[in-house]
Amino acid sequence: MTDDREALQASWNRTRGHLDAARIHLTGLPNADLSATLEFLDHDELGLAFDCLVDLGDDLHLPLAFWQRLDRAAREMRLYSDALYTPHLTAADLCRRHLAAASEKE
């Protein structure tokens, strides 16, 4: 049981690191209100923080590194496998689209 808890904590730490790294790309941008994202992060709601970051980045031309960090967070949280069973567009789907578009530009 302790191994499971340690593995979960390690995964949480990696996810949090990826979300924090993505968030830095939005810091200081004029129309990027990070208050909701920070509140979700403060309450360990990583999935909701991910959704906020994708939503904030959706209309901005952010670098590939932003989308790569969100992609890593999504993979760590296994959001892509959940997206296969969801009939509507999810934040994970938007992340993949932006990752692909940003990769083509680089």
Domain count, the chain: 1
What percent of the chain lies above the pLDDT cut of 90?
60
CB 98 within 8 A of CB 67: yes
CA angle, residues 90, 92, 97, in degrees to nearest 5: 100
List phi, psi (to 5°) of 62: -95, 155
Cα atoms found within 13 Å of the Cα of residue 28, Cβ hemisphere only: 3
pTM of the model: 0.82
What mean pLDDT comes out for the span 56-80?
91
Could you report how far apart the first and last alpha carbons of the chain are, in Å?
Answer: 44
pLDDT bucket at 1, cuts 50 / 70 / 90 = low
The domain of 67 spans: 2-105
